Amino acid sequence: MLASGLLLVALLACLTVMVLMSVWQQRNSKGKLPPGPTPLPFIGNYLQLNTEQMCNSLMKISERYGPVFTIHLGPRRVVVLCGYDAVKEALVDQAEEFSGRGEQATFNWVFKGYGVVFSNGERAKQLRRFSIATLRDFGVGKRGIEERIQEEAGFLIEALRDTHGANIDPTFFLSRTVSNVISSIVFGDRFDYEDKEFLSLLGMMLGSFQFTSTSTGQLYEMFSSVMKHLPGPQQQAFKELQGLEDFIAKKVEHNQHTLDPNSPRDFIDSFLIRMQEEEKNPNTEFYLKNLMMTTLNLFIAGTETVSTTLRYGFLLLMKYPEVEAKVHEEIDRVISKNRQPKFEDRVKMPYMEAVIHEIQRFGNVIPMSLARRVNKDTKFRDFFLPKSTEVFPMLGSVLKDPKFFSNPQDFNPQHFLDEKGQFKKSDAFVPFSIGSHSRFFRSLKKR
């Protein structure tokens, strides 16, 4: 009895010392870290977080500690940025210091620092430049992709008509349509809507994303070093990500055997040609692993974020029929029922443009953005961030910043209309990213 009591006292003493050491290190390095709740050893601030509503939990903590604060997600120390001013100062004004990519444990299981989205340094710069330029070559952001979108919209309409008005879950209807547009660029062709492999891919993609938004998924982000060895839903997410990688590998192998260097058919061909051009460059980032991971990045990013935004859009139009009625009136007036919409119609449809922006603002599909990392010791405001400190830019807090949006918690297209009813831009419209990293995501969104 006495021995167990002494053991308990010893453990409590050790825990107390570890907490005090952690706080001391925070305050006595080259400067002070942003304030934040005191962490416990190993579990950090886990007990103060609702892992089912992580974004809301972090915003609640910011009410006490301000727009820049420190949180410990298990053993991970993260600096959180809230509001337009803090996010813009970091990712735009000090873009170089904050240009590193932070941890994304679930997806890092397959990407491991390769590919355009999850890479760092020179690799990230080279792959980002190449990807943006190649997407443009295949028509992204230009009229060249307009016909592909119109064609795919026609397939979607036919698929919806075939339901004969029955109740449906639009998830796979929309993801098939969106994915086929990016597939035509990345793979050079579209999939039939009933293609079993295609449906399986979309299911694996949806499953892996759904896992990251669950309580277990958030726990994995904190304790991945332990949980990756344990049974649980994370193992299913790994299988799904592996299935996606295997599919990409098969596509790349097919293109390698059928490649014509003088006539690239798709993104994969263009990357393979660049690999041939740089095969004697010892510092090249154009090799097979980066090809596979960048292609997978494009396939996922070009499908999931856009299709999720569309689902939000339909839900919001159902909830606000008065907005839907105004959109319908503008469509009938500008486009009529006798032709398909074109990119050039956008300038004549300010209300539609405002609604599309408000759907993305209110939908807030990437509230926490991808984690960043400072690539050197960094002074930020009155704080000191040691090299490799992870940073969470809370995009959701920017999209709902009351300095820019009069009623940020309400769905209101007037947020993007001036007093004359014309579309107006907002610096706080950052649905996918902000700063240099946003160019890649904007290029996909412009489809």
Kindly report, residue by residue over 276-306, the tens digit of the pLDDT.
Answer: 999 999 999 999 999 999 999 999 999 999 9
Q: What is the pLDDT, as a whole number, of residue 445?
A: 54
What pLDDT, in 10s, does the model give residues 139-163? 886 667 888 999 999 999 999 999 9
Confidence of residue 42 (pLDDT cuts 50, 70, 90): very high
Q: What is the pLDDT, as a whole number, of residue 162?
A: 94
Q: What is the pLDDT, as a whole number, of residue 140?
A: 82
What pLDDT, in 10s, does the model give residues 66-112? 999 999 999 999 999 999 999 999 999 999 999 999 999 999 999 99
Number of domains observed in the structure of the chain:
1
Confidence of residue 35 (pLDDT cuts 50, 70, 90): very high
Amino acid at 289: K
Question: For residue 238, what are the CA distances in angstroms to 45, 223, 432?
Answer: 26, 15, 25
Confidence of residue 17 (pLDDT cuts 50, 70, 90): very low
- Statement: residue 9 has pLDDT above 50: no
Residues 6+ apart with CB under 8 A from 322: none
Map residue 40 onto helix, strand or coil: strand
User: Residue range 267-271: average pLDDT?
Assistant: 98
Q: What is the pLDDT, as a whole number, of residue 26?
A: 47
User: Can you tell me the distance from the alpha carbon of 116 to that of 199, in angstroms, rounded to the nearest whole number?
Assistant: 25
For 127, the token pair is: 């792959």
Q: In this structure, is residue 219 part of a structural domain?
A: yes
Q: In this structure, is residue 345 part of a structural domain?
A: no
More confident residue, 165 or 311: 311
What pLDDT, in 10s, does the model give residues 398-441? 999 999 999 999 999 999 999 999 999 999 999 988 876 555 65
Q: In this structure, is residue 189 part of a structural domain?
A: yes
Q: In this structure, is residue 36 part of a structural domain?
A: no
Q: In this structure, is residue 176 part of a structural domain?
A: yes
User: Can you tell me the distance from the alpha carbon of 244 to that of 29, in angstroms, rounded to the nearest whole number?
Assistant: 43
The lowest-confidence range among 13-17, 28-32, 53-57 is: 13-17
- 80 beta partners: 69, 392
> Residue 249 sits in which domain range?
122-315
DSSP-assigned letter for residue 92: I
User: Residue range 358-374: average pLDDT?
Assistant: 94
Q: What is the pLDDT, as a whole number, of residue 30?
A: 62
- Statement: residue 15 has pLDDT above 90: no
Domain with residue 182: its CATH number is 1.10.630.10
Q: In this structure, is residue 159 part of a structural domain?
A: yes
